[in-house]
Amino acid sequence: MYEPLSHIDFEGQIPFSSPFNMATKKRKVDAEFRVFNEEWGVKYFFVETKDQKASCVICSESVAVLKEYNLRRHYETKHLSTYSKFSGKLRSEKYESMKRCLETHRNLFTRKFAENESVIRTSCKIVHKMAERGKPFTDSNFIKECMMEAANDLCPEKAYLFGSISLSASSVVRRTEELGENIVLQIREKARNLLRYSLALACMEQQLMEEKNMAGVRKDLVGQIRTQLEDLQIPGALFIHCIIHQQALCGKDLDIFCVLKPVVSAVNFIRGHAYHRRFQAFLEEIYFDFCDLPYHTAVRWLSCGKLLFRFYNLRNEIDAFLNEKDRADPQLSDPAWLSKLSFLVDTTSHMNERSLKLQGKDNLVCDLYRIIKGFRRKLSLVEAQLERENFSHFHCFKEFCATIAEDVNLDFPKKIIRDLKEHFLKRFSDLDRIESDILLFQNPFDCNLDDVPVELQMELIDLQAND
């Protein structure tokens, strides 16, 4: 049985209140796919914008809906009295002229926006390269000076763009923090799709101790790192941990603390007071290669070696500056203390070089173990050379020893190398115990069957016999 057509009137017309009419009434204009008619340009002085709207070339106002009535109403209401006198060819020429002027202004803003984006992107790329190589933030000023020299010679018309790249120390700090936050976001996003992963760590211990203020962090470092990963919303990891720090040089050695104390004191005095700008101006006056003295911070994990290197090269200037400010330190002119400092400069340089290798991309556990074994052999080599008073691999120490008349006491260098050997032997004893597994993973064709687990021997024979 059919339902009565009660919603249709006697004349067969659909009433306003019917469901079909209501749906038609609520339709959106965007669904009508309106297009701009080229005739409206000369007729009403309008052009189509990139977002599919109409813009008046006279007053630059936009009309959201591409409908002739809307354009005509705008033109007749605001511009008819002024532009009605233009007709025919004169009207077309006037329209084209105003259209070109509007496009010129738009292109100017578009180009400026694109240039600003390029400048910011270039600044981020430079900061990223500096962070990758562990460069001090203050090196950015030197980088910009080099860029300006190149721009003025090669493309002087673009020199203003190079000059607008923000590379001040504060900008580099801010960009580095932004890059770090972005890396954390990327890690969180990628970690959602991972079942297991390994995490190679270096120079984290002091950072954890200072930022988290953790008691007994050395005893349960992996557990504390797991806690930090949870704070970063990253699930627990299967660790291959190789944790090293420059503090391995020092430990609780009072002698080394006495060497580093004047360095820290001098840097804090110069950087922590109003004398900082005076010190920078002092360096500029004598045309020195270094424009500033960096802080030693835990976040910038290469900064210990960088600080000692910069301090050692500026030792005479720092001594003169402190004497001028009545803050003279007799150790800055003490040959015994300077010899220890020069040796620490070289040692931290070797440590930084080794740490950078451990931080390289695509390193497997066999690569890390190879680097560690190589560094152990280097320590044995320099230990034997120190016994023969051969300082070939300690350039600053060798240079300093050549400038003084008396013999240098080698007890301090020998103890440093001896302690480092012991530290690296204990720290990576876990890797030593699984050396056979690492060698099997690295090159199964060169493994001894007797050193391989029984369940892998048959498979290994097949593999080695396969030409």
Kindly report the backbone phi and psi dihedral angles of residue 56, in degrees, each rounded to the nearest multiple of 5, phi listed first.
-75, 130
The residue out of 41, 59, 85 marking a domain boundary is 85
- Residue 375 confidence (pLDDT): 93
In a domain, 1, yes or no: no
Are 73 and 94 members of one domain?
Answer: no
Q: Which residues of the chain have pLDDT under 50?
A: 1-27, 29-32, 202-218, 237-254, 297-301
At 124, list the tokens. 């981020």
Same domain, residue pair 309 and 168 = no
Question: Virtual CA dihedral for 233, 239, 240, 241, nearest 10 degrees?
Answer: 70
Q: Which residue type does 292 have?
A: D
Cα–Cα distances (Å) from 267 to 210, 272, 287, 322, in that order, read 19, 8, 20, 11
Verify that 378 and 333 share a domain, yes or no.
yes
Q: Which domain holds residue 75?
A: 19-85
Q: Is the residue at 130 inside a domain?
A: yes
Same domain, 358 and 253: yes
Within this chain, do residues 264 and 410 fall inside the same structural domain, yes or no?
Answer: yes
pLDDT at residue 15, as a whole number: 44
Cα Rg for the chain, rounded, in angstroms? 36
- One domain, residues 273 and 380: yes
Domain identity same for 149 and 77? no
- Asked whether residue 31 falls in the same domain as residue 80, the answer is yes
Domains in the chain, number: 3
Task: Report yes or no on 273 lying in a domain.
Answer: yes
* Beta pairing, strands 62-63 & 46-48: unpaired
Residue 348 shares a structural domain with residue 405: yes
Residue 205, burial from CB neighbour count under 10 angstroms (0-12, 13-18, 19+): buried
**Which of 70, 85, 100 corresponds to the end of one domain?**
85
Residues 387 and 311 in one domain: yes
- pLDDT score for 24: 47
Q: Are residues 304 and 345 in the same domain?
A: yes
Tell me the per-residue pLDDT of 188-225, one tens digit each, with 9 for 90 and over. 787 777 666 666 554 444 443 344 444 444 456 666 77
Q: Are residues 293 and 308 in the same domain?
A: yes
